[in-house]
């Protein structure tokens, strides 16, 4: 089952009521410059940003109007202590699979999994239950206890990036639920 489908389905369960983010303000906010990122109100703004960031990260050609946003994301990762990262990383498990937006290592070799979320809205919101599950699922698939699970929400109209770090206690609880429920959801499906 695809991680995003699992996360949407599982987030509807009552058990998720206790897993809401403890804080709803970002850990950090970054501003960036750039023009015309959402001029046409495109529904695929998130896809375009993902593609631009993946290309920017590897030195490939990308649409230059995303330079400011890409630099701000890299700056946010650096502030988190990330020394190296990969984008669009396929992760596979017995019952789940998906593609993590960013898998990184800190200078202390701690795992960081970050999910890029894009909004055309006026402000950047904290993680939704399905987004928390998505991040925790990627951590389980990566097979490592993460030092950080991060939601990087890019508000294109505001030209800002809000970084939300998942509370470690919630991350560990979610990972354990996913290990247990991931198997039972697959068996029941």
For 155-175, the pLDDT digits (tens) are: 888 888 889 888 888 888 888
Whether 170 is covered by a domain: the verdict is yes
Q: Is the pLDDT of residue 71 over 80?
A: yes
Q: Which domain holds residue 56?
A: 3-14+26-188
Whether 21 is covered by a domain: the verdict is no
Give CA 103 to chain center in angstroms: 10
Task: Give the other-Cβ count within 10 Å of 93's Cβ.
Answer: 19
Whether 19 is covered by a domain: the verdict is no
Question: What predicted TM-score, i.e. pTM, was given to this entire model?
Answer: 0.83
Q: Per residue in 118-129, pLDDT tens?
A: 887 766 677 788
Q: Is the pLDDT of residue 99 over 90?
A: yes
Whether 57 is covered by a domain: the verdict is yes
Whether 80 is covered by a domain: the verdict is yes
What is the domain-level CATH number for residue 10?
3.90.320
Average pLDDT, the chain: 80
Burial of 39 (0-12, 13-18, 19+ CB in 10 A): exposed
pLDDT, position 41: 56
Q: In total, how many domains does the chain have?
A: 1
Dist CA 52 CA 67 (whole Å): 8
Stretch 37-46: mean pLDDT, rounded?
Answer: 66
Return all residues near 157 (Cβ < 8 A) that are at least 6 apart: 37, 38, 120, 121, 122
Whether 157 is covered by a domain: the verdict is yes
Largest separation between any pair of C-alpha atoms in the chain? 48
Whether 65 is covered by a domain: the verdict is yes
């Amino acid at each position: 089952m695809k991680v995003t489908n699992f996360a949407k389905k599982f987030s509807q369960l009552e058990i998720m009521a206790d897993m809401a983010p403890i804080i709803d303000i970002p850990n950090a906010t970054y501003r960036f410059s750039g023009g015309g990122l959402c001029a046409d109100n495109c529904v695929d703004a998130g896809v375009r940003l993902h593609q631009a960031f993946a290309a920017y990260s590897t030195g490939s050609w990308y649409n230059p109007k995303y330079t400011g946003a890409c630099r701000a994301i890299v700056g946010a990762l650096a502030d988190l202590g990330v020394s190296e990262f990969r984008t669009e990383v396929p992760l596979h498990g017995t019952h789940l699979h998906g593609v993590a937006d960013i898998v990184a290592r800190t200078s202390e070799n701690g795992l960081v999994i970050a999910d890029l979320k894009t909004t055309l809205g006026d402000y950047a919101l904290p993680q939704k239950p399905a987004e928390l599950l998505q991040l925790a699922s990627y951590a389980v698939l990566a097979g490592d206890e993460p030092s950080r699970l991060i939601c990087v929400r890019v508000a294109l109209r505001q030209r800002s990036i809000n970084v939300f770090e998942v509370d470690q206690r919630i991350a560990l609880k979610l990972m354990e639920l996913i290990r247990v429920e991931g198997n039972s959801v697959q068996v029941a499906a």
